[in-house]
Amino acid sequence: MSKKKLDFRIDEYVVYPAHGVGKVTAVDEQEVAGITLELFVVAFDKDKMTLRVPTHKAIEVGMRPLASPDVVAHAMAILRGKAKVKRAMWSRRAQEYEQKINSGDLIAIAEVVRDLHRTDDQREQSYSERQLYEAALERLTREIAVVNGAEESAAGTEITDVLMSRVVPAAS
């Protein structure tokens, strides 16, 4: 193994943009096309998936450490805000939401959750809208749970409570 400083350590949780929160389980060496590569082995238990990311490319592909508690607080503040829904065609908005979710940026993911959240008295969500909302909510919930050292269910309840607190019945 090289003597350079590795960006991530074994047993550390990381965020991989396209898959969300995973745990670095090892640093392996593997020979690919005659070249020896040093790889982070990242396990995503929930998805029963293991990813091998070349150590020299980890930052370049967007792998990052978990968000700080300050960033989590900012994300929760975003959830309290008013939904910003652009008037663009759904296909264009869906593409933007997908990019935000796959960016791995907790703030961008919180914006998607905020913008796509529906209450019982609002119009029904389309299938694709619901799929994007659930994907964003799952990513947000997992990262907040790991950062706060809580169960996913507790983080999910906290997020739902924040989203529902925006819906204040009109005072008579």
User: Where is average pLDDT lowest: 1-15, 52-66, 86-100, 103-117?
Assistant: 1-15
Average pLDDT over residues 156-160: 90
Residue 32, C-beta contacts closer than 8 angstroms, at least 6 positions apart = none
DSSP string, 109-126: HHHHHHHH---TTSPPPP
pLDDT digits over 94-110, tens only? 999 999 999 989 999 99
Taking the C-alpha atoms of residue 110 and residue 75, their distance in angstroms, rounded to an integer, is 6
Average pLDDT over residues 8-33: 90
Q: What's the pLDDT at 149? A: 87
pLDDT digits over 119-142, tens only? 766 777 788 889 999 999 999 999
Chain mean pLDDT for the chain: 86
Average pLDDT over residues 147-166: 88
Q: What's the token pair of residue 66? A: 């978990």
Please, which pLDDT band fits residue 167 given cuts at 50, 70 and 90? low
Cα 66 from chain centroid? 10
Q: What's the pLDDT at 60? A: 87
Return phi, psi of residue 52, to 5°: -115, 120
Average pLDDT over residues 59-75: 90
